[in-house]
Structure 1
Amino acid sequence: MKRAHPSAHQLKPRNSPAGAYRLLWRWHFYAGVFCLPFVLWLACTGLIYLFKPQIEPLLEQRYAQVAAAPRQLASAQVAAALAAVPGTVLNAYRVPEAPTAAAQVLLGRGSEIVRVYVDPSSLQVLYVVRDNDRFMRVIFYLHGELMLGSAGSMVVELAASWTILLLLTGLYLWWPRGRRIGGVIYPRLRQGGRVFWRDLHAVTAVWVSMLALFLLFSGLPWTKSWGGLLRDARQHWANAHVVQDWTIGSADERAGIAAANTPPDEHATHHGMAGMTATSPGAIDDTALDRILPAVEAEHLATPVLIAPPSLKHAGWTARSDADDRSQRADLSLDPVSGEVTRRIDFAERPWLDRMLGYGVAIHEGVLFPPLNQILSALTALGLITACISAAILWWRRRPSGTLGAPAAHEGARHPTGFIALLVLLGLFLPLLGLSMLTVLVVERLALRRLPAIRRFLGLGTLP
């Protein structure tokens, strides 16, 4: 009687490289099922936002450009804007960047900003729009919050955290275990079929993975959970007295706008304090703004430059550069009586954490070293889109009927110690990721064990 030969899977030890490979492949697969729709969304919206410097001027050229002519006083331009939008107060005046630039007056109403374009010569109101209704602001919120506020920010943060794990496991699966370079350095596009789509997915993702990881990490300060923890840490450890240069979601932004739209003293309009008139609530003292403007222009701040009146956010008149490249920004404190600059804070004087994040945000938005930064980020977004589409095609072609198509794991295979350590570190550094992994573990152990049909569909079984 012949002795039965053990199967190939039975010959593999519990800690075999093949078993570990399939376990990490399963992590990669499940992360991909959750992340791919969000990666596509973030890549597409991010790709559009990258070209804000080119797109926004084209969209606004009808009302943001005027004929060169002698300008009236800045205070008169603000008065024309306030008259066009009753019930608002001055939030900020944008210093004209060119002789043909229309005046832009930002008016506040509660927690919102209304942007008014005024012809500085004739004082004719050219266009009025809620700031959050501008095309690039809509794209910004679609990208960061899915237009769902704090809940959307949490979802994006969770998806970004799992995408980091997705890329790291993908790098492990791609890592060359032989001497071939086809399918590792370059895709074998002529072979067709599964090899074509596999190489298009893996090689493209590898080439963009490093910058993609940077973009994911540099986007975390904007998120509700991780960004909130970072803000608290900044205030506790950095002992920073300088206001941070980024907001944590739209809720935080609205709170800041509401503070900027509120006078520092509810009786300010009766006492004429800090440039506020005694006759018209919310109207600025023209002798203040008109004296301040030449001093601000003499500082040659990076454009655009915004001059803001006193508010709960800042006790006195201020001016700030709102340049896309945050490393060029500076803040001014101003004396409304003399019109002089009393204090200037440049980017180099900010806390080290603010500077590090400022560089990261500038690279994230493609503005730190244009146009190369913009080109590299656009190629990264296109690479991620390509990797997502090719992954979906690979999955669709290989999925068994009636199941999700997850790769089966070897029976008794164990996760490598290094991978477990990586999961722990990522779970601690990215709390939402850690909580979601624990949730998945609990659900699998307590619920899915009793639901064999769902387990089969999800591919939670193992190879014999």
Structure 2
Amino acid sequence: MSTAPRYERWYLAVWRWHFYAGLFCVPFILWLSVTGGIYLFKPQIESLLYAPYRGVVVESGPLLTPARIVEAGTAAVPGSVLHKYVLPEDPADAVQLLVGAGERETRVWVHPQSGEVLHKVAEEDRLMRVVFRLHGELLAGKWGSALVEIAACWTIVMILTGLFLWWPRGGAGLAGVVWPRLRRGKRVFWRDIHAVTGLWVSIGAVFLIASGLPWATNWSAYLREVRAVTGTSALKQDWSSGSEADAAARAQLDMGARAMLDEHAGHHGVTMVHEKPTDRALNHVIPQAAELGLAAPVEISPPTAPNGYWLAQSQAANRPERGEAELDDSGALIGRQTFDQRHWIDRVVGYGVAVHEGAWLGLANQLLNLAILLGLVTLALSSVVLWWRRRPAGKLGTPPASAPLRHSWALVGATVGLALLMPLFGLTLALVAFAGRVLPRVAPGAANWAGIRR
């Protein structure tokens, strides 16, 4: 006596997770793919934007001293002090200065011979800085960062559940899994485009999402807490923890730089006299920093405490090339750190960020990431088409499951692991599970419309 196959509750739950994760994530996937695709080509875009400020030096004329250049740059932004002096990648280029007042920074391009200010712009208003904040925070600070982080976590779940649902079983062939069947009608076409694209981009997409989590405000804070508990904390991390943390760091730098410019500094009511960073110090430090061979661009920050040091720090897009050095007022080297000397967690994040930004392998890295982003866009759009074509009449609910499947402890374990690794996912998963249990009891009509069954 044959019986119809029973659809396991677990399998239906996976379908719901995949479907509702898709509904939530698709707008974010499209947004992050577009903004991320633009940011991938930051070097080429900024090269075009700032081309007028390269090669401005006339060979016959003398160069101004760094102190004169800083004087011109700070005068262009009243009330500002030097935050960072950026070494020109080519001696013929204009000198870039980051000058600030509190948490506000302005980037100023100064002609190294005439002292003329060629251009100035608020640092956070620069095109690629805006794209960076659009990509990571939706220009909405920590709340935007939290939304992006939740969407990123659920996109990972969507990819894993998609692989789980579509993986060939029962001797199924590779057609429709490894390559699409293009002549089997629209239904099969869209199903295969979705499934095959998901298979091919899954590894790269999960890597791009995971390597972007250190920038998320909440996950970054979670990582710092874990590192503090495990005794693996670093003195400072080499990546952004969000716009609010960056603003606080700029304000702290500004406060320290201003304190060092004062002639006196008080400490518990006792007045201490200390030497300010003089023109002579600038004129010694900048040429010496240029001889250190740090990967461009190199930013040099003034001391922010008595007996402090000048910090020369590489901001190379390929983070494994970064390093930093400390110098005294005479330009003498105090200490130096290379990327290889950092904690292994910082090195792993550094490599991940470099690949994420397309900087590790140059143009090849950029094009590979772009291909993954295009795959994610295809995955998102095809999912909308599949849902629209198969949606139940008058309902939002999930499409009907197409095959029976036993309970999978592997998927359970992966889900629990992800909940521990990504706390915001764990929290939202708990809320989804709670709603799935309660909604059919308190609002059966809404649960039926949403495709949630007991």
Shared fold, TM over 0.5: yes
Q: Aligned to 1:261, what secondary structure does the other structure show?
A: helix
Change (3 A) 1:154 1:93: same
Matched, 1:376 2:381: no
How do 1:209-228 and structure 2 match up within 5 A?
A: 209-228=202-221
Matched, 1:201 2:194: yes
Matched, 1:103 2:75: no
How do 1:53-452 and structure 2 match up within 5 A?
A: 53-69=43-59, 70-177=62-169, 178-240=171-233, 242-263=235-256, 266=259, 268-271=261-264, 276=276, 284-311=277-304, 315-336=308-329, 338-408=330-400, 415-452=407-444
Query: Residue 42 of structure 1 corresponds to which residue in structure 2?
Result: 32
Q: Aligned to 1:371, what secondary structure does the other structure show?
A: helix
Contact 2:439 2:446 in 1 (8 A): no
Query: Residue 281 of structure 1 corresponds to which residue in structure 2?
Result: none
Following superposition, the deviation at residue 409 of structure 1 comes to: 5.9
Which of residues 15, 19, 26 is equivalent to 1:29? 19
Query: Residue 279 of structure 1 corresponds to which residue in structure 2?
Result: none
Q: Give distance in 1, aligned partners of 2:21 and 2:306.
A: 42
Q: Give distance in 1, aligned partners of 2:180 and 2:118.
A: 53
Residue 31 of structure 2 aligns with an amino acid whose one-letter code is W
Change (3 A) 1:26 1:444: closer
**Count of equivalent residues:** 444
Change (3 A) 1:374 1:88: same
Contact 1:260 1:312 in 2 (8 A): no
Following superposition, the deviation at residue 162 of structure 1 comes to: 0.6
Following superposition, the deviation at residue 68 of structure 1 comes to: 3.9
Residue 111 of structure 1 aligns with an amino acid whose one-letter code is E
- The answer to which of 262-271 and 212-221 deviates more is 262-271
Q: Give distance in 1, aligned partners of 2:85 and 2:38.
A: 28
Query: Residue 270 of structure 2 corresponds to which residue in structure 1?
Result: none
Following superposition, the deviation at residue 340 of structure 1 comes to: 1.1
Q: Give distance in 2, aligned partners of 1:264 and 1:92.
A: 10
Contact 2:397 2:451 in 1 (8 A): yes
Change (3 A) 1:266 1:313: closer
Contact 2:260 2:305 in 1 (8 A): no
Query: Residue 280 of structure 1 corresponds to which residue in structure 2?
Result: none
Contact 1:408 1:459 in 2 (8 A): no
Following superposition, the deviation at residue 329 of structure 1 comes to: 0.7
Following superposition, the deviation at residue 208 of structure 1 comes to: 1.0
Query: Residue 453 of structure 2 corresponds to which residue in structure 1?
Result: 461
Tell me, which stretches of 5 or more residues in structure 1 are unaligned?
277-283
Contact 2:81 2:101 in 1 (8 A): yes
Contact 1:119 1:125 in 2 (8 A): yes
Q: Give distance in 2, aligned partners of 1:195 and 1:59.
A: 46
Change (3 A) 1:266 1:377: same
Residue 31 of structure 1 aligns with an amino acid whose one-letter code is A
Residue 456 of structure 1 aligns with an amino acid whose one-letter code is N
Residue 433 of structure 1 aligns with an amino acid whose one-letter code is F
Following superposition, the deviation at residue 300 of structure 1 comes to: 0.9
Q: Give distance in 1, aligned partners of 2:55 and 2:416.
A: 55
Identical residues among aligned pairs (%): 45
- The answer to which of 231-240 and 387-396 deviates more is 231-240
Query: Per-residue CA shift, 1:181-217, capped at 9, x if unaligned?
Result: 2111111223340111111111112111101111111
Following superposition, the deviation at residue 416 of structure 1 comes to: 2.9
Query: Per-residue CA shift, 1:300-333, capped at 9, x if unaligned?
Result: 1100001110126993211100101111111111
Tell me, which stretches of 5 or more residues in structure 2 are unaligned?
266-272
Q: Give distance in 2, aligned partners of 1:246 and 1:373.
A: 20
Following superposition, the deviation at residue 233 of structure 1 comes to: 2.5
Following superposition, the deviation at residue 271 of structure 1 comes to: 4.1
Q: Give distance in 1, aligned partners of 2:229 and 2:309.
A: 26
Change (3 A) 1:126 1:264: closer
Q: Structure 2 length normalisation: TM-score?
A: 0.92
